[in-house]
Amino acid sequence: MIIVMKNQATEKQIEEVIRWIESLGFTAHPSRGVECTLIGVIGDEREKEGLKQAQFLEGVEKMIPILKPYKLASRESHQGNTVISVGTVKIGGPDFVVMAGPCAVESEEQLLESAYIAKKGGAQILRGGAYKPRTSPYSFQGMEEEGLKLLDQVRTRVGLPTITEVINPADVDLVESYVDILQIGARNVQNFPLLKAVGHSRKPVLLKRGMMTTIEELLMSAEYILAAGNPNVMLCERGIRTFETATRNTLDISAVPVLKSLTHLPVIVDPSHAAGQWKYVIPLSRAAVAVGADGLLVEMHPKPEKAVSDGAQSLKPEKFYQMMDEIRVLSSAVRH
Ligand code: PEP
Ligand code: MN
């Protein structure tokens, strides 16, 4: 249910409506726009009857049911686009944001070199996994807390904010103390305890689409995070599994405009895990800008041939610089 406040409703009236919603055992999710304030009401569907009284409260214009199953993620419940601030970087606003770096944090030298390259190329955020969900238990599993400490150094020594994956609800507190954005990987898109755990975090979350999740399922997963109280969720299309074997996955480029029409959350494209091969990453990145994505999550490594994880799909520095140059030209034509 959405409660639409009158455009001249006072802050006090808004606060009173919120208190009233909470007294009925629901949670209130206000969205303050220029015109008016919307208050999303979330809770047990079966208890909805009592909410009807809201129309008699002072300052209330009307009530509208939200028809979509993803209530807070839907465009109906929010005015305009969600813009997520990470330091001075804004994701979901006019700028196209690039998060670049290696698949895995491997060493201090590798990570800092990657961060300097990312910064020089114009990326705004450094990516790197400290906990790696690998298909094989014999593959490198990540540097864990040592890796997180190196990511922390990127913030202080290079001055770039960071994103890393968290794979276990018990690690959320630790991970969020070292990095700026929490990544939920494709394999964990429906790990509901993990979604709730990052929903309680104060850090923004990048939620990847699973290789077999529909757009609606992805939005329902985002809903878990939003419903737990974290409004800063961005979605990431990273390729889905199809019959095609020429690429690692199939980048569902149409998911971008579909998501942009259904939700106010920022949409990011990961061309690396979609393609599986570096030579397709630049063309897919161009497509991401053209189709209206808000940014990229892209793998880049100072020496891809030495990478312990996903070297084949990682851009080497010169290709990364080329991609950034192309994106700059394209996004200035498309976005402003
Ligand atoms: C990654 O970003 O390195 C990763 C493991 O991605 P995904 O969850 O999309 O496979
Ligand atoms: Mn990877």
At residue 125, the pLDDT reads 98
At residue 188, the pLDDT reads 98
Nearest-CA neighbor of 82 among 221, 249, 268, 228? 268
Q: Tell me, yes or no, whether 139 and 9 share the same domain.
A: no
Question: What is the Å distance from ligand 2's center to 193 Cα?
Answer: 23
Q: Tell me, yes or no, whether 101 and 234 share the same domain.
A: yes
Whether 79 is in a domain gets the answer: no
Amino acid at 81: N
At residue 85, the pLDDT reads 98
Residue ranges near ligand 2 (ion) with Cβ within 5 Å: 103, 310
Nearest-CA neighbor of 278 among 318, 222, 308? 318
- Nearest bound ligand to the CA of residue 99: 1
Whether 135 is in a domain gets the answer: yes
Q: State how many domains the chain has.
A: 2
- Strand order, beta sheet including 27-32: 27-32, 37-42, 2-5, 60-64
Q: Tell me, yes or no, whether 95 and 158 share the same domain.
A: yes
Instruction: Check: CB of residue 285 under 8 Å from CB of residue 321.
Output: no
Angle, vertex CA 39, rays to CA 12 and CA 49, nearest 5: 105
Q: Tell me, yes or no, whether 40 and 109 share the same domain.
A: no
Instruction: Check: CB of residue 288 under 8 Å from CB of residue 256.
Output: yes
Mutate to test the pocket of ligand 1, among 194, 273, 301 (most ligand atoms within 8 A of CB): 273
Question: What is the Å distance from ligand 1's center to 248 Cα?
Answer: 12
Kindly state if the Cβ of 104 falls inside 6 Å of ligand 1.
no
Q: Tell me, yes or no, whether 166 and 22 share the same domain.
A: no
Mutate to test the pocket of ligand 1, among 140, 182, 190, 238 (most ligand atoms within 8 A of CB): 238
At residue 31, the pLDDT reads 92
Residue 229 is given by DSSP the state T
At residue 52, the pLDDT reads 86
Q: Tell me, yes or no, whether 319 and 250 share the same domain.
A: yes
Question: What is the Å distance from ligand 2's center to 131 Cα?
Answer: 11
Q: What are phi and psi of 5, to 5 degrees?
A: -85, 150
Per-residue pLDDT of the chain (336 residues; tens, 9 = 90+): 999 999 999 999 999 999 999 999 999 999 988 888 999 999 887 777 888 888 899 999 999 998 899 999 999 999 999 999 999 999 999 999 999 999 999 999 999 999 999 999 999 999 999 999 999 999 999 999 999 999 999 999 999 999 999 999 999 999 999 999 999 999 999 999 999 999 999 999 999 999 999 999 999 999 999 999 999 999 999 999 999 999 999 999 999 999 999 999 999 999 999 999 999 999 999 999 999 999 999 999 999 999 999 999 999 999 999 999 999 999 999 987
Q: Tell me, yes or no, whether 225 and 286 share the same domain.
A: yes
Kindly state if the Cβ of 103 falls inside 6 Å of ligand 1.
yes
Whether 282 is in a domain gets the answer: yes
Task: Please name the residue that has the structure tokens 């990657």.
Answer: 114
CA atoms within 13 A on the CB side of 79: 14
Q: Provide the CATH number for the domain around residue 29.
A: 3.30.70.1140
- Ligand 1 atom closest to the CA of 104, numbered from 1: 3
Instruction: Check: CB of residue 254 under 8 Å from CB of residue 107.
Output: no
Instruction: Check: CB of residue 251 under 8 Å from CB of residue 237.
Output: yes
Residue 59 is given by DSSP the state T
At residue 33, the pLDDT reads 86
Q: Tell me, yes or no, whether 107 and 32 share the same domain.
A: no
Tell me the two tokens of residue 226: 């939003």
Last residue of a domain, one of 20, 36, 65: 65
What is the reported pTM?
A: 0.95
At residue 44, the pLDDT reads 82
Q: Tell me, yes or no, whether 29 and 138 share the same domain.
A: no
Angle, vertex CA 93, rays to CA 224 and CA 232, nearest 5: 20
CA atoms of 241 and 211, how far apart (whole Å): 5
- Nearest bound ligand to the CA of residue 191: 1
Whether 76 is in a domain gets the answer: no
Q: Tell me, yes or no, whether 58 and 112 share the same domain.
A: no
Residue nearest to atom 3 of ligand 1 (CA): 103
Cα 75 from chain centre: 16
Kindly state if the Cβ of 186 falls inside 6 Å of ligand 1.
yes
Ramachandran assignment for 95, one of left (phi > 0), alpha (psi -120 to 50 degrees), beta (any other): beta
Q: Which domain holds residue 239?
A: 84-335
Question: What is the Å distance from ligand 2's center to 126 Cα?
Answer: 13
- Nearest bound ligand to the CA of residue 276: 2
**Contacts with 16 (C-beta within 8 Å, 6 or more apart), sequence order:** 57, 58, 59
Q: Tell me, yes or no, whether 21 and 142 share the same domain.
A: no
